[in-house]
Every structure is written in structure tokens, then in C-alpha cells.
Structure 1
């Protein structure tokens, strides 16, 4: 009897285990199906959202294209061929209206090539960087607008004196760079005592002199803003002679060069009224620039020192590919930057011409 009871209990237990296992399997199946359903719904929602976003983007692009096309279609231009000058912070836009995308700005007195005038808005069509842009009528002027000289009531004519001041570009003074071996003298000279400044000072026996770079003035479209770089010199000392060696880097930047050079001389004379001003000819023979320099010198009673007999003479220039070995053994190969600058013979020739005029 006992045995029968035990068997019955084992059978019941086994049946219970099977039932529990079945229930567990069913539960896991239901949970898996529920997860699959949720994931499917989420994926369908994601796809629907992406499709909606893409449709909205296409609609917006279509509208923008249509708006742009409509705007372009409604603007017509009368042809023009004129060169104007930009006003301060002239804004260049992609289309000829005030809210159009800004594609650039023009600095004061930059030359602007006008090719058309919009009949519907107050905009000019301009040629810029090989493409077209649009500027408002009030942002450009037919006339060059002089930039005021940086003269201040706080500056005065100095009483301290020095013999001579040299104002120039890299031929007068160039800082240390990886392009050459020097540091703070005439670019291309093997040593400071071999550049035209120091050769001139030594030959004339000057006891006090200064030399400075105004190279940035040559490239600038707003040159009068660069003139206060002269203040540490002309507002501090009264010089017997002031040499101007500028012009080589003006090529390609000749807009209102005559006016700017005249303004520089006016500025110098404001603080050094008694200085003898000497203008040194270009080392490189840029005819139009040289012509302007001679004209300004003549109009202002300035001594002009010609270098016509040494311009373009290869024996006076550094040649690309040549090498120079410094005293410490470092070898420099003349690259495109240095090539064309005076060598020691060139600096000596410049100095001889200047010494003869002084």
C-alpha cells in the first residue's frame, strides 16, 4: 500500500514539473512575441519619422529653389562697365537684395568692377574673384575717398635730433624667417654691414640713425591707416635726412598709390618739417610705379635717386638655386622669395647711388 502511495506521489510530482515547464515555455514565448511586436512597432515608427523628415526636407528644398528661382527671375540689370571704390565694410551678397546671403566684405577704397545695375533694387552687380556678387549702391563710390591722416593734437614736432631715418621694405629691413639667414637688416645681404643702410651710414659718418620697415603700407588698400607706424620715429626725433625706399611691393596694389605716397610725405613733414626727404628708385624696374614716384617727388620738392643703371642686372641679384653658407656652416638655397633681392654687390651699388645724392 505504501509503495502504491509513493508511486502515485512521484507520478503527481512529475506531472507538476511537466506542467510548470510548459507554463514557463508558454510565458517565454509570449514575452518573446511581445518584444518582437514592440520592436516592429518601433522600427515602423522610425521609418515613418524618417520618411516624414525626408518629405519635409524635399518640400523645403523645392520651396527654396522655387523662391530663389522666382527672385532671380524678377531681377534684371542694365549693363555697366565702371570701376568704383568700396566704402568702409562694404558687404557683398549672393543676390541683389538686403537679406541675401553674405559672401564677403570689401575693405575701404578697394577697387570694385561694376558690370551691372539692378533695375528693381539698389544694388550693383560686381565681378569678384572670377565670379559675381552684389553690393548696395551706398557701399561703393565713384571717387576714391581719402582716408584722413592720423594726426593728433597730442603729437608735436620733436626737438631731439638724429642724422638719418631709412623707411623701406625688405630691402631696408627684414626680420628673421626660415627663408633666409638674416635677422633685422636688408634682405639678401650676407651681414648687416653689407646692406645699403649700413654702408651709407658708414660712408657718411652718421653718428645716429634709424631704419624701419613700412612694408605693410605697400600692400594695403588703406595705406593711411599704416602711417602711425612712423610715429616712434618722426614724432620722437627730428631727422636731418629721411630716405624713402618703397615701391617694389606696390605692383598689383597700385590703386591710389600717387595719393597715398603724397599723404605719406605730408605726414612726415608735419612732424619733421626741416628734414631733407630723399626718394630711392625701385630696385626692380616697374615702370608705372617708378613714373608715379618720380611725379610725386617732383611735385613735393624731393630728391629722387635713380637706380636705372642697375635695375634688372643679374650680377646685382640673388639667383634662384644658388647657395649661401653662413659663418656657422648652415647652407641656404636661394628660393623664390629671396631670388631677385639684391646681393652684396647690389646693396653696394644702391649705397653708391644714394651716397652720391647725399
Structure 2
């Protein structure tokens, strides 16, 4: 069973009830600015919090990203707490990847989120510095909301280097220049990489505008695009299982690959 959690422990101030997904109730904590998750100008750090404790034997996967990974409620824009333009949480790439990973282990798979509160790289790094996180795998997606400049490169490198556990990096969805930079950086560090740019070039992978038929929502991956992203991530996950014996020890057992064959979107 996949269960969704986040660290640090919940607090009472600023609590906002969110719907139940996968049997787990979420809570949102925002700072005094009272801004929404992914609202344009927010500087808040938002945490998705589950009140139950994380099982000690769980396999923890942290997904770091912007609205492609997780977007919360925003009036007349988006009303599902999941990857934007997916038709439901179960159809976004985070849940598809978690489902695939769960098939490889008897341990419960826990999903940890970090979008920095506004979907930008510097705030994602800042959120990591607010608590002690110990994921077994980190999936990094982001950069679409940042200018491609020296500041981006500085904080992007900090984000890539923050955890020493196995990582998978997803390139920029919109921009080839940023995607190529991420791919080059991952090649230098021997980190599995998924090219989202190549997936986004197929119009069949783009959203339909969501419930409010918005162009900004339509620019995100739909269910087909989310499935393609998940396939690329799971292909990289299989590579990590093959190459990293310590990673296999954490998973607890060896099962067949969750993604058969190669993928043109991965390196």
C-alpha cells in the first residue's frame, strides 16, 4: 500500500484541511503571508503533512518539483492536489512511479513532497534546510519557473548535490536550453536523467486546460504525458536497482524490472 507523508511533524497553526487521497488525509501549513501553493508571488514554505507516523521500515521517495509534480488548490485555476493537468492524483507521474516502485518491494512506499511553496529552485533548496529528511530515493523536477541564469545554475547545483542517496533528475518541460544543461550536469555526475522536453514535443502529451479550460494548465502534461514521464523515471529506477547493491538492500527484495525495454527519453 502506498502511503503519502511529509516531514517535519504537523503543527496546529495555519492548518488547512485537504481531501483524502489514497486513504491519507493531508494538512497544509502556510506562513503569515497566507498564500496558496504555487500562487505567483508567494514566498511561503508549504508543507503537506500526514498525522500518522512514517513506518520505520518504509521506502521513502522524495519528489522535488513544481506544478508538474504537485499543484494545490488555486481558485478558478486548479482544484486537484496533484501534478497539474493530470485527471486525478492516481494518474500523475508521482503516483504512477510510486505504484511501480511498490511492485518491487514488500516495504510500504512513502511519498514525500517538496515544491518550495512557489515551485522555484531556490525555495526548494530552502525547504530542505527546514528539517531532517532521510529519503532512500530523490526524484528532482524543476526549473520551468526560473530564469536560466547564473542564479539558476547555482541553486540547481545545490539541489542536485543536496542528498547523497540515489537520485533521478527530470529535465525542463518547456526549454531545450535548460534541458540540455540538466542533461549535461547529470552526465558529469552519473545521475540518471529523463528528458521531459522530448516528451512535451508530442502534442498528445499536453493537457486540455483542466476544469477551467486554461491555457497555462494546458501547457502541462496530461495523463498520457504523465504516463510517459513515469515510464522514463521507472526505467531509471531499474537502472539504479541494477547498478547499486546498497539500493537493493534498502528495497529488501529483488523482483523483475518494472519497466521492460529501453526508453528514448532517458539517458
TM over 0.5: yes
In the alignment, is the contact (CA less than 8 A) between 1:242 and 1:278 conserved in 2? yes
How many positions carry a matched residue from both structures?
Answer: 177
Q: Which runs of 5+ in 1 are unaligned?
A: 1-158, 325-331
In the alignment, is the contact (CA less than 8 A) between 1:258 and 1:296 conserved in 2? no
In the alignment, is the contact (CA less than 8 A) between 1:186 and 1:196 conserved in 2? yes
User: Which residue is equivalent to 1:245?
Assistant: 141
RMSD over aligned Cα atoms: 2.5
- The answer to whether structure 1 residue 230 and structure 2 residue 128 are counterparts is yes
Bigger strand share: 1
- The answer to whether structure 1 residue 352 and structure 2 residue 242 are counterparts is no
Which SS does the other structure have where 2:136 is aligned? strand
User: Which residue is equivalent to 1:178?
Assistant: 75
Using structure 2 for the length normalisation, give the TM-score: 0.59
Structure 1: distance between partners of 2:187 and 2:91? 31
**What is the CA distance between 1:181 and its match in structure 2?**
4.4
**What is the CA distance between 1:179 and its match in structure 2?**
3.4
Q: Which runs of 5+ in 2 are unaligned?
A: 1-55, 103-107, 238-267
- The answer to whether structure 1 residue 307 and structure 2 residue 196 are counterparts is yes
Measured against aligned partners, the alpha-carbon deviations of 1:272-321 in whole angstroms (never above 9, x if no partner) come to x3x1011012222x12111221222223332112235422211111245x
Using structure 1 for the length normalisation, give the TM-score: 0.45
Between Structure 1 and Structure 2, whose CA radius of gyration is higher?
1
Structure with more relative contact order (C-alpha pairs < 8 Å, separation 6 or more)? 2
In the alignment, is the contact (CA less than 8 A) between 1:182 and 1:190 conserved in 2? no
User: Which residue is equivalent to 1:340?
Assistant: 219
1:216 is matched with which residue: 103, 115, 118? 118
Measured against aligned partners, the alpha-carbon deviations of 1:7-59 in whole angstroms (never above 9, x if no partner) come to xxxxxxxxxxxxxxxxxxxxxxxxxxxxxxxxxxxxxxxxxxxxxxxxxxxxx
Measured against aligned partners, the alpha-carbon deviations of 1:77-123 in whole angstroms (never above 9, x if no partner) come to xxxxxxxxxxxxxxxxxxxxxxxxxxxxxxxxxxxxxxxxxxxxxxx
Bigger helix share: 1
